[in-house]
Amino acid sequence: MPDGPPIPAQPVTSVAEAVAQMEAIGAALPASDGLACFNRMYLEVTKAVSADLSQGFFADPAFMAKLDVTFANLYFAAAQAADTPAAAPAAWRPLAELRGAAGVEPIQFALAGMNAHINHDLPVAVVATCAELATSPDAGSHYTDFQKVDALLDSEEEAIRRSFETTVEQTVDQHLQAVDNLVACWAINSARDLAWQHSLVLWDLGAVGAARGLFLDSLAETTALASRLLLTAV
C-alpha cells in the first residue's frame, strides 16, 4: 500500500466537481501510483464528455450528466478505500492491492481501472440513474446517448493509450510487444457494450433480492479476475 495522506475522494454532485476531484486526486498521488494512472485516463475521458454535454451532442444531456456523476461517485468510493485493499470493493481490489507493484506498466494500471469501473460500476450506475430519474434503460434516447460516448471514446482511446508510453519505453520493442499482447484483448467500447447488457439484466432483477446480489457478486468476481490478468507483470 503506498504511503502518504488519504486520497481526497468524496461524493460530488456535478460533472465539474467530478473533474475537479479527479484533478485533486492526480495532484495528491505520485504519477507512478497505479490509481493515479487510471485517474489520469478517466480525467481525460470525463473532460471530453463534459465538453460535449453543453454542445448539443446528447439528446438528453440531463440524463447523461446524472449518469456521469453517479458513475464517478462509484470510483471516488473505491478510491477512498484504496489505501486499505481489503476494504475496497471486490471489483477494485486487484488495483488497490497492486497499485504499487513493480513490473506493471502505467497503461496496465489504467486499463485495470477502466475494467473495474466499466464492467462492474457502469451497469450499477445506469440502473441507479434510471431509478433516481424515474425512467428505465430502454426509455427515450438513453441507449442512443450511451452509444454516442462510444464514438467519443473511439477518438480519444488511442491518444490516451499512447500518452502512457514514454520515449524510453518506445525504444524497447520487445517489452512493449509483451505489454501490447496483454492489453490488446481489452477494449473500452467492447466493455461498454457488455456493461449495457448487464445493466438491462440488473434492471430486470429489481432493486432488491437474492438474484440481484448473486448477479453483482458474480460480476465483481469476473471483473476482478480480468483486472488481475491485466496487471500481470511483464
What is the pLDDT at residue 208? 80
Rounded to the nearest 10°, the torsion over CA 106, 184, 180, 109 is 10
Report the Cα 22 to chain-centroid distance in Å: 12
Residues sharing a CB contact under 8 Å with residue 76, sequence separation 6 or more, in sequence order: 9, 10, 11, 12, 21
For the chain, which ranges sit under pLDDT 70? Answer: 1-4, 156-158, 160-185
Q: Is 215 exposed, middle or buried (0-12, 13-18, 19+ CB in 10 A)?
A: middle
Q: Running DSSP on this structure, what letter comes out for residue 129?
A: H
What is the pLDDT at residue 6? 81
Domain boundaries, the chain: 15-230
The whole-angstrom separation of Cα 76 and Cα 152 is: 23
234: cell is: 511483464
The whole-angstrom separation of Cα 155 and Cα 59 is: 20
The whole-angstrom separation of Cα 111 and Cα 104 is: 11
For the chain, how are helix, strand and coil distributed in percent, rounded to 5? 75, 0, 25
Residues sharing a CB contact under 8 Å with residue 134, sequence separation 6 or more, in sequence order: none
What is the pLDDT at residue 168? 45
Report the Cα 226 to chain-centroid distance in Å: 13
Are the beta carbons of 95 and 38 closer than 8 angstroms?
Answer: yes
pTM metric for this prediction: 0.91
Q: What is the pLDDT of residues 67-121, one digit of tens each?
A: 999 999 999 999 999 999 999 999 999 999 999 999 998 989 999 999 999 999 9
9: cell is: 475522494
